[in-house]
């Protein structure tokens, strides 16, 4: 049984509207590779989030909360992956590609990178473990189903909001970033952003 459903929806909406690493990754991909790649990044990040929801609902994520070793391993692997993305972006000679030039390989790559960006962040697992149970009755006989439903709602809101970010940012800035100068500057900015996210993941 879901407790305080309106409070849950309000909190889920507010949390999704708060800028975070997922949105930074998605906007970076959109501004450097176009709308199609940006939308694939949304689905990748949210697929990773759904894996966290499933793991938390089944109780597997408790390992991350109770084992400092497991938490640290995932933390360092996630930070290392962010660092890898950052250095790759800094070294990249790739410029902005309109949607018509975004090939299937780019979209698939963006999807799986999005999955890894989310699934390798142990703080996402801890978020679902801390947030969702607040709205589940202790006497709920279907704890797994209720947990999975609430987690899916959080991710569903993220899909809608982040897709809107992709569409509107692409419409507003695609003409500007299609020029070589701004495109190269965006690659540099995205690289530094990923390196900053790796530092944030490790120390904050």
DSSP 53-67: HHHHHHTTTHHHHH-
Dihedral of CA atoms 110, 114, 117, 122 in degrees, nearest 10, equals: -160
The pLDDT, as a whole number, for residue 96 is: 53
The pLDDT, as a whole number, for residue 171 is: 83
Distance between CA atoms of residues 51 and 23, nearest Å: 18
C-alpha 3: how far from its chain's center? 27
The pLDDT, as a whole number, for residue 175 is: 62
The pLDDT, as a whole number, for residue 130 is: 92
The pLDDT, as a whole number, for residue 116 is: 93
Convert the pLDDT of each residue in 65-105 to its tens digit. Answer: 889 999 999 999 999 998 998 898 888 766 555 555 556 77
Which residues of the chain carry a pLDDT beneath 50? Answer: none
Q: 136: phi > 0 → left, psi -120 to 50 → alpha, else beta; which?
A: beta
Predicted structure pTM score = 0.86
CA of 154: how far to CAs of 57, 63, 68, 147, in Å? 14, 22, 27, 11
The pLDDT, as a whole number, for residue 58 is: 93
The pLDDT, as a whole number, for residue 194 is: 85
The pLDDT, as a whole number, for residue 50 is: 96
Number of other residues whose CB lies within 10 A of the CB of residue 201 = 21
């Amino acid at each position: 049984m879901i407790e305080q459903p309106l409070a849950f929806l309000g909190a889920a909406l507010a949390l999704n509207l708060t800028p975070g690493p997922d949105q930074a990754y998605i906007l970076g991909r959109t501004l450097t590779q176009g709308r199609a790649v940006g939308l694939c990044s949304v689905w990748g990040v949210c697929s990773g989030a759904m894996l966290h929801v499933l793991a938390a609902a089944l109780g597997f994520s408790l390992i991350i909360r109770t084992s400092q070793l497991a938490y640290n391993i995932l933390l360092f692997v996630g930070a290392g992956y962010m660092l890898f993305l950052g250095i790759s972006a800094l070294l990249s000679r790739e410029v902005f590609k309109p949607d018509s030039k975004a090939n299937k390989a780019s979209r698939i790559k963006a999807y799986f990178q999005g999955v890894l960006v989310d699934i390798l962040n142990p703080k996402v697992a801890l978020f679902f473990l801390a947030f969702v149970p607040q709205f589940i009755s202790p006497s709920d006989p279907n704890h797994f189903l209720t947990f999975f439903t609430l987690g899916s709602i959080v991710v569903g809101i993220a899909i809608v909001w982040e897709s809107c970010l992709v569409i509107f940012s692409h419409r507003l800035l695609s003409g500007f970033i299609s020029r070589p100068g701004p495109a190269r500057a965006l690659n540099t900015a995205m690289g530094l952003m990923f390196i900053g996210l790796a530092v944030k993941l490790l120390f904050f």
